[in-house]
Amino acid sequence: MLRSRMAGIGKYLPEQIVRNQDLLRYMDTSDEWIQERTGIQERRYAHRTAETTTTMGVAAAQIAMDRAGVTAAEIDFIIFATLSPDYYFPGCGVLLQRAMKMKEIGALDVRNQCSGFVYALSIADQYIRTGTYKNILVVGAEKHSFGLDFSTRGRNVSVIFGDGAGAVVIQPARNDQEGILSTHLHSDGESAEILAMYNPGTHANHWKQEEFASFDDAAIGQMFFSHAMIDKGQVYPYMDGPAVFKKAIVKFPEVILEALEKNGLTPADLNLLIPHQANLRIAQFVQQKLGLQDSQVYNNIQYYGNTTAASVPIALCEAWEKGKVKEGDLICLAAFGSGFTWGSVLLKW
Ligand code: ACO
């Protein structure tokens, strides 16, 4: 069966740099707290009106396509991972198809948050392996800055996230020395609500049964989206940080070892691990647990914050641009996030 490979990679980071000190204008926090707990020094925020998740995805995609030597007309499938889409629906995949004037190809949106890009890659890999498509565009992009609670109430979440995009063109491998060796996906919905954005949604959890009964059909829209939700800050992401941390430091190493073991390899064989940039402390814990050298792990959360579905392709692209990813290198991409969902991709560059 054909393997798939990354034929081109690109990233886009918006111009505006927001340092930790800049956040003090909105909330009670400190550079020291943020750096100590997360490693983050600064992040990028998209232009408020001119840039969206899709436009950033398009910018990253164009670079990836140029590097792969592929035109928009040659792309035969789009997979777009994000948790901050331009619209509730339709998804960003079709908006990118329109913006890049692509043919009437399939466009799939992936909603697996921090592990969205890893999930998206696994899908692309299957389509290449079965010979269905030849040039798949996989994009991870986020415009978090539009949906965060910048008051002190939301500080545990809002200081972490940043905007940006990354993209790859996936093609059939040229030989059996390169390409994606295996992909590994997992989920555990037991804790779905501890890292989530509940509204707008169809869950109706905010309403007690008696209130629920009092709603007539005309008022039902309020259950989906109401002034009360906005007033109470229930329209922003919620995170139980310590609980996420505890699970992440178990599942990250587990899924990396799973990928290595499946291929008869060990952590010592890895040239580079690109962990989802959730939190520098999580990445450092994983590095220590696997006994990896500093040169075997790439982190850039210090400069971009957590860009969720975009973090893995941004980090991989940056590492490649710096010459840290060379032909034949063994690379592991790994992610963990909301859901919970987690996964890994092991590949030979
Ligand atoms: N500035 C200053 N103080 C803050 C801030 C802030 N931005 N945020 C929270 N605090 C305060 C809290 O109010 C609390 O104060 P209190 O003790 O007086 O009540 C104190 O700091 C500790 O709060 P916790 O939420 O328990 O903070 P914790 O020490 O766990 O650190 C953090 C929070 C950094 C989020 C941590 O839990 C963590 O790293 N969790 C992992 C989650 C993660 O990385 N998520 C990223 C997104 S998900 C993903 O990508 C996997």
- CATH code of the domain containing 104: 3.40.47.10
Among protein residues, the one whose CA lies closest to atom 50 of ligand 1: 278
Print the domain residue range for 285. Answer: 179-191+239-348
Do 227 and 245 lie in one domain? The reply is: no
CB 206 within 8 A of CB 234: yes
Distance CA 278, CA 160 (A): 8
Q: Within this chain, do residues 166 and 259 fall inside the same structural domain, yes or no?
A: no
Determine which one of 184, 276, 279, 332 is catalytic: 276
Q: Are residues 154 and 295 in the same domain?
A: no
Residue with CA nearest ligand 1 atom 48 = 337
Catalytic residue among 20, 112, 114, 332: 114
**CA 151 – ligand 1 centroid, Å:** 15
Are 142 and 277 members of one domain? no
What's the rounded Cα separation, in Å, for the pair 259 and 231? 45
Type of residue at 340: F
Whether 114 and 248 map to the same domain: the answer is no
Return contacts of 292-300, CB within 8 angstroms, 24+ apart.
Answer: 292/267, 296/267, 296/270, 296/271, 296/272, 297/272, 297/273, 298/272, 298/273, 298/274, 298/324, 299/39, 299/275
The reply to whether ligand 1 has any atom less than 6 angstroms from the CB of 113 is no
CA distance linking residue 244 with residue 241, whole number of Å: 5
Please report the DSSP string for 89-132 in residue order.
SS-HHHHHHHHTT--S-EEEEE--GGGHHHHHHHHHHHHHHTTS
Three-state DSSP at 16 gives strand
In the block, residue with structure tokens 């390409």: 179
203 in catalytic set:
no
Query: Is the same domain home to 149 and 264?
Result: no
Residue nearest to atom 33 of ligand 1 (CA): 241
Decide if 182 contacts 260 (C-beta within 8 A): no
Domain count for the chain: 3
Q: Is the shortest distance between the CB of 58 and ligand 1 below 6 Å?
A: no
For 60, residues 6+ apart whose C-beta sits below 8 A from its C-beta are: 10, 11, 12, 139, 141, 165, 166, 167, 310, 313, 317
Q: Which ligand 1 atom minimizes the distance to the CA of 241?
A: 37
Q: Is 20 a catalytic residue?
A: no
276 in catalytic set: yes
**Burial class of 28 by CB neighbour count within 10 A (0 to 12, 13 to 18, 19+):** exposed
The pLDDT assigned to 302 comes to 98
**29 & 43 share domain:** yes
Ligand 1 centroid vs 23 CA: distance in angstroms? 15
Could you tell which of 41, 156, 188 is best to mutate to test the pocket of ligand 1, judged by most ligand atoms within 8 Å of the CB? Answer: 156
User: What is the distance in A from the centroid of ligand 1 to the CA of 37?
Assistant: 7
Residues 263 and 287 in one domain: yes
Same domain, 114 and 228: no
What's the one-letter identity of residue 60? Answer: A
pLDDT digits (tens), the chain, 349 positions: 689 999 999 999 999 999 999 999 999 999 999 999 999 999 999 999 999 999 999 999 999 999 999 999 999 999 999 999 999 999 999 999 999 999 999 999 999 999 999 999 999 999 999 999 999 999 999 999 999 999 999 999 999 999 999 999 999 999 999 999 999 999 999 999 999 999 988 887 766 666 666 666 666 677 788 888 888 888 999 999 999 999 999 999 999 999 999 999 999 999 999 999 999 999 999 999 999 999 999 999 999 999 999 999 999 999 999 999 999 999 999 999 999 999 999 999 9
Contacts 24+ apart (CB under 8 A), 124-127: 124/4, 124/77, 124/79, 124/170, 125/4, 125/170, 125/180, 125/183, 125/345, 127/77
For residues 336 and 254, membership in a common domain is answered with yes
Atom 25 (ligand 1) nearest CA: 241
Same-domain status, 217 and 275? no
Q: How far is CA 241 from CA 184, 263, 282, 319, in A?
A: 25, 33, 12, 28
Same domain (yes/no): 246, 224: no
